Amino acid sequence: MKKGRILVFSAPSGSGKTTLVHYLMQHTSNLHFSVSATSRPPRGKEQNGIDYFFLTPAEFKEKISQGDFIEYEEVYQDTFYGTLKSQVESQLERGENVILDIDVKGALNVKNIYGTESLTVFIQPPSVDTLRQRLIDRGTDSLSAIEKRVAKATYEMTFADKFDTIIINDRLEDAQREVLKVVGNFLDND
Ligand code: ADP
Ligand code: 5GP
């Protein structure tokens, strides 16, 4: 049986990655979301096993030493995130495609491991000012948290040209069409 393939989405916070990944999953069959592990506590309505596997820092370290991760990163200071082999490899073996939503460095590490069996997609906002405005309009972060995210975004955007594809999320309908096209080409291409 043909093995599944991996889609890896990264973007600065507020670029519209969640919006586009949800849209893609609604319009693509045989695509499964990989739930990551993190050492941070749940936020708001997040549920264990659905949004993340929430681990203590000690449990996270134990999994590192057991080789349970495909990749992991300290995305924020003292806060680890990692892609579990158990979330990805059995699905690929069953011929299912898997989508990862991970940070820029993790994405490039996955590309190094899976090569042409993976597609890395960078979702880019039209400008930093637009990104800031979307975060303000979303209304989920304080102004100081927004400025931190914007500063980090500028750094993350320096990685964009290392991705297989960059999708600029200006008009949402255009970005949605582009995501379906790029992913469709990749998954249908033997
Ligand atoms: P991320 O997951 O990258 O942090 P979200 O998907 O939560 O981003 O999007 C950030 C905010 O911007 C949300 O309020 C979303 O509804 C809005 N948004 C997403 N794409 C667009 C777009 N093309 N134009 C305007 N607003 C958008
Ligand atoms: P948040 O805490 O806002 O849910 O996520 C913070 C960041 O961690 C996001 O950029 C997200 O893409 C990234 N992230 C989530 N899971 C993983 C993972 O498994 N590996 C890596 N490298 N980054 C991840």
Ligand 1 neighbour 14 (Cβ under 6 A)? yes
Ligand 1 neighbour 133 (Cβ under 6 A)? no
Ligand 1 neighbour 136 (Cβ under 6 A)? no
Distance (angstroms) between ligand 2 centre and the Cα of 102 equals 5
Task: Enter the pTM of the model.
Answer: 0.94
Per the CB < 8 A criterion, the answer to whether 31 and 22 are in contact is no
Residue 190's pLDDT band (cuts 50, 70, 90):
low
Give the pLDDT confidence of 118-170 residue by residue, as tens digits.
999 999 999 999 999 999 999 888 999 899 889 999 999 999 999 999 999 99
Dist. CA 125–CA 135, nearest whole Å: 11
Distance (angstroms) between ligand 2 centre and the Cα of 15 equals 14
Distance (angstroms) between ligand 2 centre and the Cα of 101 equals 7
Give the pLDDT confidence of 6-48 residue by residue, as tens digits.
999 999 988 999 999 999 999 999 999 999 999 999 988 999 9
Ligand 2, atom nearest to 84 Cα: 19
